[in-house]
Amino acid sequence: MIAISQKHWTGDVAELLRVGDGFVLDDVDPEDTPGYERSKKHAAEDLASGALQLDEYQERLYAQSRVDATRASVLLVLQAMDSAGKGGILRHVVGSVDPQGVSISAFKKPTDEERRHDFLWRVKRRAPEAGMIGVFDRSHYEDVLIGRVRELAPPDEIERRYGAIDRFEKRLTDAGTRIVKVMLHISRDEQKERLMRRLDRPDKHWKYNPGDVDERELWPKYMAAYQTVFERTSTAHAPWFVVPANRKWYARIAVQHLLLEALEDINPHWPAATYMVDAEKKRLAAS
Amino acid sequence: MIAISQKHWTGDVAELLRVGDGFVLDDVDPEDTPGYERSKKHAAEDLASGALQLDEYQERLYAQSRVDATRASVLLVLQAMDSAGKGGILRHVVGSVDPQGVSISAFKKPTDEERRHDFLWRVKRRAPEAGMIGVFDRSHYEDVLIGRVRELAPPDEIERRYGAIDRFEKRLTDAGTRIVKVMLHISRDEQKERLMRRLDRPDKHWKYNPGDVDERELWPKYMAAYQTVFERTSTAHAPWFVVPANRKWYARIAVQHLLLEALEDINPHWPAATYMVDAEKKRLAAS
């Protein structure tokens, strides 16, 4: 077993960030750094050392899936308001893992074909294979977030979806997938600053969309929709974690830590050879 | 335009490695380092500086595909005998790019469903989207390599496939994809050493398969099948590059350079804003 380095944490991060009974999103301060009292500079070092652990864990998981009958995988679900830092998580946390062991699925506005199916259809097809770390960049939760805020479906259909999501996630976890659901939580003011920086830099103009401002106007409605999501879908088998994200460096080490814990829970090990090692050495030497 | 750093190359790498008329695989020395006279230590530095260029190029390509009507993409096709270093290319060259901009497709033994379709069916579905670097870890070429050596299809079907591959690749390039086809070329002795190292290390046992030795026995037949592939499918629009790979560090900077040249050829630039920047700044400030 690889021991996850805990030395830089002052508390149980997963416990501090997990959405449990009585959780109130409004009470979370996006500037906060729960369980971490070191500086931004230290966070970069801690992220780098965590990356090595994550990489080895993932390779073990992958190796085991090729040889043993294990079906274990990890699924990171990333949800956030625009500019909250999903891309940075993908680049700096997920990007440190061997790309052969990662599958990223970005869920955008559904295509015509996707709309002709149940909302979970496109999501199920992207569930991670055994041995992989799957990442959902946005997810089925959009269908109860923008779906609710923008009234893209009737209320009873939105209502039905919470239960459908729960059953879907239960089946996935029963089949061996560890699900880590993360909302990156930034403040409305922080978003304004980040969007303004995009407008200030010509090489970032492509990341800005006038629709982003329209969505900002609906901020309180989105926060209410997230609160409902947390109340209805943070379960023992697929808990939500709300990660304060005004400080990008904190969000990155926190999400990395949640992934490390999921892998530690699987505890993958190098699989034993399924052949006679000495006999193969002789065959190979003679070849 | 980003200028690709050429300073560490003593020759035109793409030209040196490209399969042209009269190419003979047997004449390529897998120990060689064409166009590069610096040491392994320098190669690591050169790889790191190339990684920054590759990353920026890819982000520009991606950005442009989101905004402009460009359909440009890059497809890296990787073929090699076992242990030649495909995994290292994926980890150390492709892995340096933002994972959101990369799609890796590993083609293994076809499934029953895949076998019920034409050999190109599964491959076409994995062609890279605009803005992406797609990587084929093995490819449709297996169908004229192991397919030929192991006689998995009748000779006239194998014969038909060369033409089908050429037409498929022509359509892809016409639609905007730069195709870079790479064979990593190791010697039979080097393979033996690498397989032996896998047998020596318990954490590498999972990478070894007794079938690897059976394939080794067919080495001359595989080399002949590769020679035929090069003669039949190295075209102006989709050339083959044979990269000597006994020195892993050389293979990595060489493949990185081929990707950089493909991107330089596309010459992606940051797209202009499709909205009024100043007006948006005011809207955002007021939001």
Residue of A nearest to B219 (CA): A287
How much is the average pLDDT of A28-37? 96
A130-169 residues touching B, CB cutoff 8 A: 137
pLDDT-based confidence at residue A7 (cuts at 50, 70, 90): confident
Residue of A nearest to B62 (CA): A206
- Is the pLDDT reported for residue B231 higher than 70? yes
B202-231 residues touching A, CB cutoff 8 A: 202-203, 205-208, 210, 213, 216-217
How much is the average pLDDT of A138-158? 96
Contact yes or no for A99 and B98 at CB 8 A: no
pLDDT-based confidence at residue A232 (cuts at 50, 70, 90): very high
Residue of A nearest to B269 (CA): A203
Helix (H), strand (E) counts: chain A? 12, 5
Contact yes or no for B63 and A285 at CB 8 A: no
- Is the pLDDT reported for residue A6 higher than 90? no
Judge contact between A174 and A166, C-beta under 8 A: no
Chain centroid offset of residue B27 CA = 22
Contact yes or no for A90 and B99 at CB 8 A: yes
How much is the average pLDDT of B187-199? 98
Q: Is B220 exposed, middle or buried (0-12, 13-18, 19+ CB in 10 A)?
A: exposed
Distance CA A129, CA A75 (A): 10
pLDDT of residue A147: 94
Q: Does A176 touch chain B (CB under 8 A)?
A: no
- Is the pLDDT reported for residue A1 higher than 60? no
- Is the pLDDT reported for residue A239 higher than 60? yes
Q: Provide CATH code, domain B13-286.
A: 3.40.50.300
- Is the pLDDT reported for residue B141 higher than 60? yes
pLDDT of residue B68: 81
Cβ-nearest to B287 among A205, A213, A281 = A213
Q: Does A1 touch chain B (CB under 8 A)?
A: no
- Is the pLDDT reported for residue B1 higher than 80? no
How much is the average pLDDT of A129-158? 96
Chain B positions touching A205 (Cβ under 8 A) are 270-273, 277
Joined tokens for residue B282: 């005011």
Q: Give the residue carrying structure tokens 């001359």.
A: B220
Cβ-nearest to A205 among B90, B277, B284 = B277
pLDDT of residue B214: 94
How much is the average pLDDT of A35-39? 91
Tell me what ipTM this predicted complex has. 0.91
How much is the average pLDDT of B133-146? 97
Q: Pick the residue of B206, B207, B270 with the most A CBs within 10 A to test the interface with A by mutation.
A: B206
pLDDT of residue B5: 63
pLDDT-based confidence at residue A185 (cuts at 50, 70, 90): very high
Chain-wide mean pLDDT for chain A? 95
CA-wise closest residue to A252 among A10, A43, A100? A43
Of residues A5 and A43, more confidence is placed in A43
pLDDT of residue B69: 74
pLDDT of residue B257: 97
How much is the average pLDDT of A264-287? 95
- Is the pLDDT reported for residue A251 higher than 60? yes
* Three-state DSSP string of chain A: CCCCCCCCCCCCHHHHHECCCCCCHHHCCCCCCCCCCCCHHHHHHHHHHHHHHHHHHHHHHHHHHHHCCCCCEEEEEEEECCCCCHHHHHHHCHHHCCHHHEEEEECCCCCHHHHCCCCCHHHHCCCCCCCCEEEEECCCCHHHHHHHHCCCCCHHHHHHHHHHHHHHHHHHHHCCEEEEEEEEECCHHHHHHHHHHHHHCHHHHHHCCCHHHHHHHCHHHHHHHHHHHHHHHCCCCCCEEEEECCCHHHHHHHHHHHHHHHHHHHCCCCCCCCCCHHHHHHHHHHC
Distance between B205 CA and the closest CA of chain A, angstroms:
6
Contact yes or no for B206 and A137 at CB 8 A: no
Per-residue model confidence as pLDDT tens digits over A212-226: 999 999 999 999 999
